[in-house]
Chain A
């Protein structure tokens, strides 16, 4: 079964420190994409970062990096130098491509609170 697991319902981090949000996935597809989205309190879904299953290097986008460990089926999001504006819900998602449906499967989310 295709599944995304986020085991941290909520996390706190001190401003300016780094934080890692965990994500593990389960799929039998060989080709898939992994994504992270941010949902602030206003509700919209903001795309943060993408990692392809065949990408050998970890993806980075500004202060966001994705720690991709294929053998462990994990795709953790690392936010460096946390800011107050990073307080939000974060969703990990996967899109298997070889199955042909291009479905996006989401985890249950991690609510991050950045402390001043």
Chain B
């Protein structure tokens, strides 16, 4: 089954404690990205990757890091989480072209206290 898998689904952590949200896709997609969803703001892109070892900032990259060492994996790293990073996070993947839909993971609800 074609899917994007994110883990964990829910996470409560404390300010400053490094965390990683994993994302893996099994569709051999070149393009992967991370979004955060906040009430009234829709989905905003954090980082994206066009292929292995190619990553770039989205609209709200501050406080986040990513890596793309393998085509299927695109982890999101919060080196020192802060309460303003409390949000719903989505990983998505798609093939190139902009004429195909993005496939989304199940979402990770992160709370930073």
A-side interface residues toward B, CB under 8 Å?
4, 6, 9, 31-33, 35, 37, 43-45, 47, 50, 52, 91, 93, 95-97, 101-109
Contacts and interface: CB of A to CB of B under 8 A. Distances in A.
Given A43-B88, A101-B48, A102-B31, A33 B98 contact: yes
Interface residues of B, number: 29
**Chain B's interface: helix, strand, loop or mixed, by majority?**
strand
Nearest to B107: A43
Interface of B: 31, 33, 35, 40-45, 48, 50, 56, 58, 88, 90, 92, 94, 96-104, 106-107, 109
Given A45-B90, A50-B99, A104 B45 contact: yes
A103 B58 contact: yes
A43 B94 contact: no
Given A35-B101, A103-B58, 6 more contacts: A43-B106, A44-B104, A47-B101, A91-B42, A102-B96, A106-B42
Contacts of A37: 104
Contacts of B31: 102
Contacts of B101: 35, 47, 50
Contacts of B44: 106
A82 B56 CA distance: 40
Contact of A109 (B35, B42, B106): B42
Nearest to A96: B98
Contact of A45 (B33, B48, B58, B104): B104
B106 A44 contact: yes
B21 to A, nearest CB: 15
